Amino acid sequence: AGRFRQPAMQLADLTPETGGTPIRSVVITTWRSGSTFLGDILNAMPGNYYHYEPLLNFDIIQVRSEPLATQAVANLKKLLRCDYTGAGMRDYLDYGQQHTYLFKHNTRLWRLCLLYPNFCWRSDFLTPLCRLFPLQSMKVVRLRLAIAGQLLEDSRLNVRIILLIRDPRGTLQSRKHREWCPGRPDCDHPPTMCRDMVADFYAAQLLLQKHPDRFRVVRYEDLSLNPHEMTQELLDFYGLPMDPEVEEFLESHTKLDIGGVSSTYRDSKSAPFHWIKDLSYEEIDTIQNGCTKAMELWGYAKATNVTILSNKFDPILPYSIT
């Protein structure tokens, strides 16, 4: 445990079972923004327990305020404390039994679920198991940052949060291929999504002032174009070492495209920019018209005509959040 940037002398300082506090790494983002890639980078760390999309049972919505905000934050806190009891957790586990991908990404748990399926969805199995892990990661795609930031107010949780942002044109192009998105306004309506991006920008400014050591922002495009360098930075931020397993994951997942739309085997340098070829100019124009402010704040250049797109268009601009 001396390899960790946080001053833990031994493993016992990090495992809840021995009275320790795990390193808890949270990613806040939205659907199809590169979070499976970042989530899997964190989960490549040995000793990590992965809370994958813990609000999956809330359906295809964004939680921005009450009546759902309190329950959403309570569920996240319970999971981060390894507490699988209570009504909110019962709903979560019932949903997971019917939608097993809720747990499949938590590879160290899922191995045990395959061996002991009767135990997999029981709180009296999950709570003590979770408490053995020195690292926890969580990726959340249904909760906006102004609400999620409450996790940083609870010092006992020892949480660090990254907000992961993606060009709305890339996100919406990626969502077109998913059967669960079309017809859901929180998912397929550009102005709604971009209002969330604007709100997240201002929430991020406040969190950077209040918790400069516990919060940071990364754009998916920056991570994809410089995967090794950015991963090193993000692990430094979370207080995690660059483990050989993480290096191996990056080597195998950033060079070539394999698998379907949810695969993370990608040529990472081209992955963020498929929208340039896949969307018609009309579609791009519609998204841009609903996203002027969000694109301005987050440093994404508009394509002002169709000719620009065919000529090595670079949509990435510098941006500043301070």
CATH of the domain at 84: 3.40.50
Task: Say how many domains are in the chain.
Answer: 1
pLDDT-based confidence at residue 269 (cuts at 50, 70, 90): low
Q: Is residue 240 part of a domain?
A: yes
Q: Is the pLDDT of residue 215 over 80?
A: yes
Identify the domain containing residue 104 by its residue range. Answer: 11-268
Q: Is the pLDDT of residue 48 over 70?
A: yes
d(Cα 157, Cα 15) in Å, to the nearest integer? Answer: 13
- Give pLDDT, residue 8: 47
Q: Is residue 293 part of a domain?
A: no
Q: Is residue 126 part of a domain?
A: yes
pLDDT-based confidence at residue 264 (cuts at 50, 70, 90): very low
pTM: 0.90
Percentage of the chain exceeding pLDDT 90: 63
pLDDT-based confidence at residue 322 (cuts at 50, 70, 90): confident
Q: Is the pLDDT of residue 241 over 80?
A: yes
280-320 pLDDT per residue, tens: 999 999 999 999 999 999 999 999 888 888 778 889 999 99
Q: Are 45 and 133 in contact (CB under 8 A)?
A: no
Q: Is the pLDDT of residue 202 over 90?
A: yes
Q: Are 74 and 84 in contact (CB under 8 A)?
A: no
- Give pLDDT, residue 5: 56
Percentage of the chain exceeding pLDDT 70: 92
Q: Is residue 4 part of a domain?
A: no
Of 89, 56, 205, the C-alpha closest to 145 is: 205
User: What average pLDDT score do residues 253-261 get?
Assistant: 55
H or E segment to which residue 33 belongs: none
Q: Is residue 296 part of a domain?
A: no
Q: Is residue 196 part of a domain?
A: yes
Q: What is the DSSP string of 240-303?
A: ----HHHHHHHHHHSSS--SSTT-----TTTGGGTHHHHS-HHHHHHHHHT-HHHHHHHTB---
102-152 pLDDT per residue, tens: 899 999 999 999 999 889 999 999 999 999 999 999 999 999 999 999 999
d(Cα 88, Cα 67) in Å, to the nearest integer? Answer: 14
Q: Is the pLDDT of residue 187 over 90?
A: no
Q: Is residue 263 part of a domain?
A: yes
Q: Is the pLDDT of residue 91 over 60?
A: yes
User: What average pLDDT score do residues 228-240 get?
Assistant: 91
Q: Is residue 319 part of a domain?
A: no
Q: Are 73 and 16 in contact (CB under 8 A)?
A: no
